[in-house]
Structure 1
Amino acid sequence: KCQECRLKKCLAVGMRPECVVPENQCAMKRREKKAQKEKDKIQTSVCATEIKKEILDLMTCEPPSHPTCPLLPEDILAKCQARNIPPLSYNQLAVIYKLIWYQDGYEQPSEEDLKRIMSSPDENESQHDVSFRHITEITILTVQLIVEFAKGLPAFTKIPQEDQITLLKACSSEVMMLRMA
């Protein structure tokens, strides 16, 4: 069961002696692995610190530059206060207003975009092809609107671009289904 006995058995069954890794090479590999683990540990702690900072950034938002009206009617606000539900902070309200503004701006395609999509078909195009082209162009336009909306989300543009693309690819079809519902 010792290493020497194992080596003898391996050599006896046909292992080539040049395949044996010398001890100094093993020690060097162990040191490299240990150094890599330390490096990964440092990077992980740096990433965790950056993530905490990003979360704090997400939780704050610049207040709107114009005066805003309350989101909820006074009677609902009174009921919330009666149930000891804390009122929203100014930053929370600012994030909500910003999201509503982006939703209003990117929920529906513009008239120009719709006119462009519904432009007159070519004479050679069948009705089936025209319908397919319209569906395709509306889908493309909807995905573009989803992307523009996402760009307006607090801190979305601060995450790495590969992650942005992954998130958008993963959720675009679901968002389109929710929009149709």
Structure 2
Amino acid sequence: MDSSLQVSMNTQELRRPTDDGPEEDTSADEEDEEPKVCHVCGDQATGYHFNALTCEGCKGFFRRAMKRPASFSCPFRGNCVITKSNRRQCQACRLKKCQSIGMLKELIMSDEELEQRRHILKQKRKRAEPLVLSPQQEGAVQELLQAQRSTFDVSFVDFKKFRPIDRNLAPMHEYGQMLLDPSPAFSSPQEEALFQFSSPSNCDERPDATDASSRVFITLPHIADLTTYMIQQIISFAKLISYFRELSMEDQISLLKGAMFEVCQIRFNMLFNDETGVWECGALSYCMDDAARAGFQRHLLDPLMKFHYTLRKLRLDDTEYVLMQAISLFSPDRPGVTDQGTIDRHQEMVALMLKTYIESKRMSTDKRLLFPKIVACLTELRSMNEEYTKQVLEIQDIQPDVSPLILEVVSKDP
């Protein structure tokens, strides 16, 4: 045999696909544009099948004949000429032709192997297809967005009859004063400056820092009114979600109490200016000093401030923010929850919507990292929940200006 022909045949042998339909076959010679014909019947060949260049029809015939052996007999003399038009008339001669051109039974995959191969191919095609929200998911997202827009007063025009905020006294610890040994953990000098506090020695010099019982939390009345306003809106938000309303009243209350601090902070993050470290609430504005003046302590405010910078830098849109709130709301492990299975399914559904939304709407190359980053922010926020409850109760013991609604939310009673 000519050596160049042998090399060509060996190359084609390496390129032969396994037995799994035309989408897995290779053409006989990609460099030769001449149409190839089946070596059995002369029909158009689709590639190499079981060691020979054949059409789909003869490929399937050989597979069936080998998997379910039958005693074929030629009604004529055993030397029928097989063509495209008559290939069904004599199975015996067609099978003999298949074998004569080199088709091998050993290359046929078992049913189990075929099923496994099809499953792998299906998964590959699924991963290659662009993700899009289904009509049902689109409807659920629109419901959440409408609930958000109906219940989140981003300009705070309806926030009225509140007790005025008093900033006459400096807080126990200040956000905005640079330390001499600033931490290198921040991404910009502005963020670093806004995040630092005055030194402990300076705090000790304040006359109201020596005796906890003598502290006056001057911004507490206003912050309590602001928090109460936010809580009322979040309750209204939850009640506009159809699959929240389907839960028992006990589970609705447990979910709201468990998620209130987290959802409130997610909403506040939408108003956070990470250039100035200020929450811009329409005509009102707040800094972390205001929370410090209300009696909240550094071991809550430190991680909370960092959370707001981290989340804001993700540049989420309204849909991503509202889905993040829904994931927090439908947490099946909140204290007092009874129907954990249903709530877990709701949370999984919302998480999948968020992943699909990011995949289908975001154009950046690192979009696959966004969902894990959002989950990390939710986890970080969850870790502050208990400390927030503890500090609210401590503040109320010192200065009873916390509203009954806030106390109801942070109470451990079901």
Q: Bigger relative contact order, structure 1 or 2, given CA contacts below 8 A and separation 6+?
A: 1
The structure number with the bigger radius of gyration is 2
TM-score, with length taken from structure 2:
0.21
- The structure that is helix-richer by fraction is 1
TM-score, with length taken from structure 1:
0.44
